[in-house]
Copies of this chain bind each other. A is one copy, B any other.
């Protein structure tokens, strides 16, 4: 069994932003030389998520607007009594889920034709990390 652990760091320009990380993951997997395995990609900060979906500008806007409807920015969250102002970001992370497992087959990411992997930032403009951990051989 082989394993590999990498950490990606993001510092987005916008407070909320989607970053396509599929190519970063491709490179890590090729460098690992693992042929068959499972690759965990997990946001280590609790106001960010990982999303697997389509690289289509309209859909990305739809998704972010939909999240805002279901988990809106609001002043009166209890969490804000601590001085924070990002409770919506915790809920948005929850809705999207903060991690995915990607299959590796014959040395490559084994994704469907339209699957792209995104880092979903909901409280950015500062350094935040994602762990990439591969198990396989």
Task: Tell whether, in the assembled complex, residue B103 and residue A133 are in contact, meaning their CB atoms are under 8 Å apart.
Answer: yes
Q: Does A53 contact B (CB under 8 A)?
A: yes
What residues of chain B lie closer than 8 Å to A101, measured between beta carbons?
A: 40, 42, 99, 101
Q: Interface of A with B (CB < 8 Å)?
A: 1, 3, 5, 36-38, 40, 42-46, 51-54, 56-59, 61-63, 66, 70-71, 77-82, 87, 90-91, 93-101, 103, 105, 110-115, 129, 131, 133, 135-137
The copy count of this chain in the complex is 3
Task: Tell whether, in the assembled complex, residue A59 and residue B131 are in contact, meaning their CB atoms are under 8 Å apart.
Answer: no
Task: Name the residue of chain B whose CB is nearest to the CB of A57.
Answer: B78
Question: 26 pairs across A/B with beta carbons < 8 Å?
Answer: A1-B1, A1-B137, A3-B137, A5-B36, A5-B103, A37-B135, A38-B38, A38-B133, A38-B135, A43-B112, A45-B114, A46-B53, A46-B114, A51-B94, A52-B98, A53-B93, A54-B79, A54-B90, A58-B78, A58-B80, A58-B81, A59-B77, A62-B77, A99-B101, A103-B133, A112-B129
